[in-house]
Structure formats: structure tokens, C-alpha cells
Amino acid sequence: MKPSFPIQKSEAEWRAELAAKKAEPMAYEVTRLAYTERPFTGKYEKIWADGSYHCIACGNHLFDADTKFDAHCGWPSFSEAIPGAITEIRDTSHGMVRVETVCSQCGAHLGHVFDDGPTATGLRYCMNSASLDLKRR
């Protein structure tokens, strides 16, 4: 069971919010229904711009671009999240045990975090591009 989050909206309100932001077509399914975009198809997988990554649903600051690295997995990957920005939830779907990451403000599904990252944190936040919004510097 997912915890409660400060920002609560109806399905119609989330759909309208994402449409107003011109989010990717799969953004609702990814953020609200925990879908996963196909690897190597997300708009941020190969973007290496200065800035910060925010939750597409509510705007919560999730990652700084300087923590992004190429994990060769097909999804944007980060070594470190902004403290308090992400809530971790045990995920036992698809016959696996993983750690789901959701926005700590609105509960939007972002992706998963793994302990196989190449930096000092040892973490790989594997995110769906459809759940992110890059604010360039």
C-alpha cells in the first residue's frame, strides 16, 4: 500500500495537469499507473544538459543534472536524488523484488532505484523520461 502524499488530485485533474504541461503521451500511465516506457525511447535518455530534473506532475525538484550518468540501460539514470524528494516503496511486481521510486509530494511513479551505481553513492536511480521535466540553466 502506497503512503499518502501532500498533493492529491483526481484522475481527471492529473490528466488535465499533464496535458496543460504538454507532457509526453505516456506521462499519465507512467506517473499514475506505474507503467514503464520502453528502453531507449525516452526523451531524456541521451540528453546531457545543465539544469535540474523535476516531477512532471507536480514540479518537485528531484535531481540535479550533474548527478546524471549513462548506465547503458535505456533510461535516464542518476546517482543521487535531492534529499527528501523521493519516497522509496518495496515493489514485488513481475516476480522481482525491487525498490520503486515515487515523488514525495504527489506520489507519481518515477522508476526504480538499484544499488549497482558506479559512483560513490553506489546508487542508480533508473527513471522514466515521461515522469521528468528538465529545467535548463
Question: For 58, which DSSP code?
Answer: T
Predicted confidence at residue 95, as pLDDT, reads 87
Greatest CA separation found in the chain? 42
Q: What domains can you pick out in the chain, each with its CATH number? A: 11-136 (2.170.150.20)
pLDDT in tens, 120-134: 999 999 999 999 999
Q: Is the pLDDT of residue 101 over 90?
A: yes
Written as one letter, the residue type at 71 is A
Catalytic residues: 126
pLDDT in tens, 80-95: 999 999 999 998 888 8
Closest by CA to 124, choosing from 58, 76, 65, 66, is 76
Q: Which pLDDT band holds residue 34 (cuts at 50, 70, 90)?
A: very high
